[in-house]
Amino acid sequence: MANRSVSKILAGITIGDTNGVGVEVVLRSFGQQSLLDMCVPIVYGDIAVINYHVEALNLRDLALNVINDESHAKEGVLNVFSIGSEPVSVNLGENRPSGGRYALESLQRASEAIKQGAVDLMITAPLNKSNIDHIGFNGHTGFLAEQFGKDAIMIMASEEVKVALVTGHIPVSEVAGCLTVDLIFEKITSLKQSLIDDFGIEAPSIAVLGLNPHAGDDGLIGKEEIDTIAPAVSKANEFGIDADGPISADGFFGSGAYKEYDGVLAMYHDQGLIPFKAISFDTGVNFTAGLSIVRTSPGHGVAYDLAGRGIASPTSFGEAVRLGCAICQRRSGQPIEIFPK
């Protein structure tokens, strides 16, 4: 963990899109004493932006501490690390380039802090990929994979279900062409290792979904299951991994069969996230496994339509803080139960 005078975990928090609900859920989450007891939060942002949201949401009782060095962070308050020199305008509920520019600057600064060991983990508030003018940027997962490990895999996690993805933010029309035996096997392996190391599941069982309706119906509705997915599952079995598939996704979730497995591997974004959010919308957390650092995020987006209205639920962000701290403790050798009963 980072070298500092405070005794708790130092949590580096990105500000996200300043016009969405990110700042709100951060502020409302750390109005809870339980989270302040768990870690020392440091938001990488501008105090003027924070104060704007404090006033808009009538959160004037929230204790803030403005710092320019992580070593000055205090326990029991929300620390704000000032970044940038340009004034930031806030236009709540609007998709503006300024919101994307500031979200990226915050993400870059938090990344440098965790590289330097100034913070112990990263928790990212939601951003909007469409307003970030940065070559090759396609989201948090890809950015962090470049910084902290090429084997990154997105796992949407809750107490009820953990869903990982083979492909992420790519068009559906490109999914089939991206699938290979080696890629699926790699993702099965990464999911299995994270379930062991990060979630404390000793011998995890993994369900691997098919790509096509009815998992291809023995080749009548596509050959990917026969040519690519089934061989990857067989290879995983040969390496001692308890994996089943390919499994038809609709019946798998509709029947509750997902409850019989420790993890689920979906072939593409919406195949995994639609059922996950139907099951765990408020409590779900986005965890990037396979990195050298611990990074979590709430399971929702910027939600411009809710911004500034004081109605955005902070539950998912709070769960992201709890999960991030628990995994950080596990990686430091503490036998923490990730989802205590």
What pLDDT was estimated at residue 1?
A: 57
Domains and CATH numbers, the chain: 1-149+291-341 (3.40.718.10), 160-282 (3.40.718.10)
- Integer Rg of the chain from CA: 20
Report the run of H or E that residue 101 belongs to, with start and end: helix 97-115
pLDDT confidence of residue 271: 97
Residue 230 backbone zone (phi > 0: left; psi -120 to 50: alpha; other: beta): alpha
Q: Please name which of 108, 129, 130 lies closest in space to residue 44, comparing C-alpha atoms.
A: 108
| pLDDT (mean) for 173-191 | 97
The per-residue pLDDT for 291 is 94
pLDDT at 109 over 90: yes
What percent of the chain has a predicted confidence (pLDDT) above 90? 78
Q: Is the pLDDT of residue 6 over 70?
A: no
Q: Are 267 and 211 in contact (CB under 8 A)?
A: yes
Task: List Cβ neighbours of 157 (8 Å cut-off, separation of 6 or more).
Answer: 199, 284, 285, 286, 287, 323
Average pLDDT, the chain: 93
pLDDT one-digit tens code per residue, 273-324: 999 999 999 999 999 999 999 999 999 999 999 998 889 999 999 999 999 9
d(CA 129, CA 264): 26
Which tens digits make up the pLDDT trace of 57-93?
888 889 999 999 999 999 999 999 988 767 778 999 9
Report the pLDDT value the prediction gives residue 337, as an integer from 0 to 100. Answer: 86
**In 10 A of CB 116, how many CB atoms?**
10
Burial annotation 86-113 (CB, 10 A radius, 16+ → b, else e): eebebebbeebebbbbbbbbbbbbbbeb
Rounded to the nearest 5 percent, the helix, strand and coil shares of the chain are: 40, 15, 40
CB environment 37-65: b (16+ within 10 A), e (fewer): ebbbbbbbbbbebbebbbebbebeeeebb
3-state secondary structure of 38: helix
Residues 6+ apart with CB under 8 A from 241: 188, 189, 192, 206
- Helices 230-238 and 181-197 cross at an angle (nearest 10°) of 50
